[in-house]
Amino acid sequence: MQKKKRKLFAASAACALLMQTAAMLPVSAADDYIFSDGFESGEGGWEGRGGATVKTTSSEPYAGSGALSVTGRSDSWHGAQKDISSVCTAGETYCFSVCARYDSGPSSVTFMLSLVYKDSAGETTYAHLAEAETMSGFYVQLVNDSYTLPAGATDPILYVETKSGSTSFTIDEAICAPKGTQIDGPKPVKFNLGDVNYDGCINAADFTLAKRYAGKDFPSKTMLRAADVDQSGTVDSADTGWYQKFLTAQETAYPEPVKPPVEPYNYQPLKYHSFDERVYLSQSSHPGKVIEEHYQGPKGTNTCYVYLPPDYDENQKYNIFYLMHGGGENERTLFFQDDTMMQNIFDHMIENGDMDPLIVVTPTWNQTGADQFYSELRDRLIPYVEGKYSTYAESTAIEDIQASRYHRAYGGFSMGSVSTWGVFLNELDIIAYYMPLSGEYKVSNLSIQTQAQMITGAIDKAGLQKNEYFIMGATGSNDMAQPQMTPLMNELRKYDHFIETSDLSQGNFFYMVVDGKEHWWGHVRHYIYDMLPYFFHEEH
């Protein structure tokens, strides 16, 4: 059956609308602004945040003759900040607006207007007031016209950051006003396939640009992405041919996306082997990055760490692995202990071609409990992380999270393994790959038989086939969890739900007991090294 083609927008109406939204709109004048920083005569109290440097510039202001450039960033939270403690009062409601743009780097950037303050208990708290995405060369407005500074808040600092990346940017017309104040600003410029010059129209000018740069380097990644209407990764005669047909009304829909052929993964029989710790635990000459992130957990602000691979590019899509710590540990354990140092291992695995670049998240179950973490994962952590970093989820809508389940994995050690089984029982619709390490799903001393029935029951409830979920687990023969984990894995072997093999194109279950190894991260990191490369190769 022929695939249904995607409907293309009505060109004339869309051109008029997008050209209107791309136009610069005046910022409304108001005598009662609490502050209004146009940067014509100085920084207005704005400073660099993190490693960033700020200075006034006359280049490309949104309004007037000045703007504030933000350079020297090395992380997404680095940006520009302003102490508002002398002008804003806890418990009062305000309107905040800032205009932001960037000029080089990724095809699009999502800016965030944020606030950091001390709550009534003296804890540092972060709030995101507004966010908006824009393309290179276009200002976008970050506005929240009714934000209440919480009662008891002290030392509030307003700042502009990006959801990801560290590109330099510019801000202008930073305004604080009484709640409900209408402050006009630039509207987001929407990306459309075929619209190479971003003017809201697909016309002869776009065709000319596509022909000019076909097979060559485009001036920007956004232009290349727009001209590549069949999404093959290159602009060639297939793309320019489509323009000819579209402009002569022979074609009214985009072409079907071209998916490059994928070679089947060559699964080798998996056996435990120890990597060379002198190499894999040393810092790579081309390392990735570990970023501390804060999100709203069920009991207040929670923390996780995000590993980004070397040369992370927010225009690419990455598989993602959520890796949970054990009892008495926290979100720092996986990256900041001598017996873990997983970031160095991941760096070398990627550098040596052991696995493709991926994102790894180390959260904590300390707010919810290991066996109950699944709800925080689904409702709070995944939307936050995958809304900020580039994964296969097209958005944080549940249908897009579900559609990308084959590119998402969850694993954990000890109590993190308890958490892994809890996630398996409740989140099969959004995660396909699982790595329980040295632990079974032990809640209220459930029997091994009951645990196995719960696991297979979850599969039945989800209505999944055997090639739609995968478990790879491991422990050591001298591990204190082995006498409980092995009976569970043996019980699962009895069920028709599982086919045991390390070739996940032929089965969905693998369990490894390594002779002589104890309950220790120094051993567990080797299990992860062995098994993680087998993930993310199956999709249906």
Q: What is the DSSP string of 11-26?
A: HHHHHHHHHHHHSPPP
Give the pLDDT of the chain (540 residues) as one tens digit per residue: 333 344 454 443 445 444 434 444 344 455 689 999 999 999 999 999 998 999 999 999 999 999 999 999 988 899 999 999 999 999 999 999 999 999 877 777 889 999 999 999 999 999 999 999 888 889 999 999 999 999 999 999 999 999 877 889 999 999 999 999 999 999 877 778 999 988 889 999 999 999 999 999 888 777 888 999 998 889 999 999 999 999 999 999 999 888 777 788 999 999 898 888 999 999 999 999 999 999 888 888 899 999 999 999 887 899 999 999 999 999 999 998 888 999 999 999 999 999 999 999 999 999 999 999 999 999 999 999 998 889 999 888 899 999 999 999 999 999 999 999 999 999 999 999 999 999 998 776 789 999 999 999 999 999 999 999 999 999 999 999 999 999 999 999 999 999 999 999 999 999 999 999 999 999 999 999 999 999 999 986
Alpha-carbon distance of 71 to 321, in angstroms, equals: 31
Question: What class, spelled out in words, does domain 26-178 have in CATH?
Answer: mainly beta
Task: Report the chain's terminal Cα–Cα distance, integer Å.
Answer: 18
CA atoms within 13 A on the CB side of 526: 19
Amino acid, single-letter form, for residue 479: D
CATH class of 9-25+188-258: mainly alpha
Give the pTM.
0.71
CATH superfamily for 278-534 is Alpha/Beta hydrolase fold, catalytic domain (3.40.50.1820)
The reply to whether 9-25+188-258 and 278-534 are identical in fold is no
Helices 448-462 and 482-492: crossing angle in degrees, nearest 10, is 50
Token readout for 70 is 């933000």
- Summary count for the chain: helices (H), strands (E): 14, 19
The structural domains of the chain, with segments of one domain joined by +, span 9-25+188-258, 26-178, 278-534
Residue 336, Cβ neighbours under 10 Å: how many?
Answer: 15
Cα separation, 117 vs 414, in Å, equals 36
Q: Which helix (H) or strand (E) holds 240?
A: helix 237-247
Give the model's pLDDT for residue 31. 66
CA distance 38 to 23: 19
Using DSSP, state whether 278 is helix, strand or coil: helix
